[in-house]
Structure 1
Amino acid sequence: MLPSDPRLALALEWLDLAEGDLAGAERLAQSTPRPLRGLAAYHCQQAFEKALKGYLSFQDVPFRRTHELPELLAECEALDAEFARLATQAALLNPYSVRWRYPPTPGEPSEDQINAATAAAREAIAFVRARLPRSASP
């Protein structure tokens, strides 16, 4: 059942997409015969981005079309100073929007980099979910 608040419904849609990106990243990182870690890193960045956009949508704050996590995070921080806790993760993931998508690439990210990226994306999604009404929890 969809929430009656259209802002909440939109925020939840953003979070569903973020969770899909995170699930895709986890699968890509474990794919065989060769893990696709570059694509996994990109999807972690996308999950983080969509979580932030979900929060801004819930707050009815317009945002420009961007993949810049620090910019989106600053908009979230203006509404809730606790978002500053995600600054390190945003800085980690921000370059992943393009680093492994266009040549020349620096080689595939390491398993440790992907583990950090998935943890950062997971944290952002949970952080935003915790700021939505309890009735919106899955």
Structure 2
Amino acid sequence: MDDAHYHEIQQWLLKSQRDLEAAKVLFEHGLFDVVVYHCQQSAEKALKAYLVYQEVILQKTHNLVVLLESCLAFDINFEILRDSAEILTPYATEFRYPGDTIEPEKYEAEEALAIASLVLDFVVKLLPNS
């Protein structure tokens, strides 16, 4: 892997980590709608880091299940993240705008934090020198 490729992967991981850290801070302030959004973003960027590692041209999607399907082409162990992807995917848009959507509860934000952390840790363990 050349330096530019390694740097790009690291940038995706850094953005993933920052989204997760932001979500943790926002959780302490009870901003659960923003917490779940940043958790989805963290998981999305972690999966995209893996796809960059595999030299896949990234799709412009926030759908974690779609990204997971791409990851599965390289490693079937990603299957264990399917439920996680299905839970987090709606958070990319569901609570972003005013409307009829009920705000997420604290337990949903806690679950989203745990899932985002799981996804990031899973990806990091698969990448060299992370």
Q: Give the TM-score normalised by structure 1.
A: 0.89
Question: How many pairs does the alignment contain?
Answer: 130
User: Quick one: which of 40, 63, 69 aligns to 1:74?
Assistant: 69
- Structure 1: stretches of 5+ with no match in the other structure: none
C-alpha displacement at 1:108, in angstroms?
2.0
- Structure 2: stretches of 5+ with no match in the other structure: none
Name segments (4+ residues, structure 1) moved above 3 Å: none
Write the distance in 2 (CA, Å) between the matches of 1:105 and 1:25: 23
Instruction: Answer whether contact 1:99 1:105 (CA < 8 A) is retained.
Output: no
User: Per the alignment, in what secondary structure is the counterpart of residue 109 of structure 1?
Assistant: coil
Alignment partner of 1:86 is 2:84: no
User: Per the alignment, in what secondary structure is the counterpart of residue 130 of structure 1?
Assistant: helix
Write the distance in 2 (CA, Å) between the matches of 1:105 and 1:52: 30
User: Quick one: which of 107, 111, 123 aligns to 2:102?
Assistant: 107
The answer for the alignment partner of 2:6 in structure 1 is 8
The answer for the alignment partner of 1:29 in structure 2 is 27
C-alpha displacement at 1:123, in angstroms?
0.7
Q: Give the TM-score normalised by structure 2.
A: 0.94
Write the distance in 1 (CA, Å) between the matches of 2:81 and 2:35: 20
Write the distance in 2 (CA, Å) between the matches of 1:5 and 1:80: 24
Q: Deviations over 1:106-130 (max 9, x none)?
A: 2321111111101110011111110
Pairing of 1:112-123 with structure 2 (within 5 A) = 112-123=107-118
Tell me which amino acid in the other structure corresponds to 2:52: S
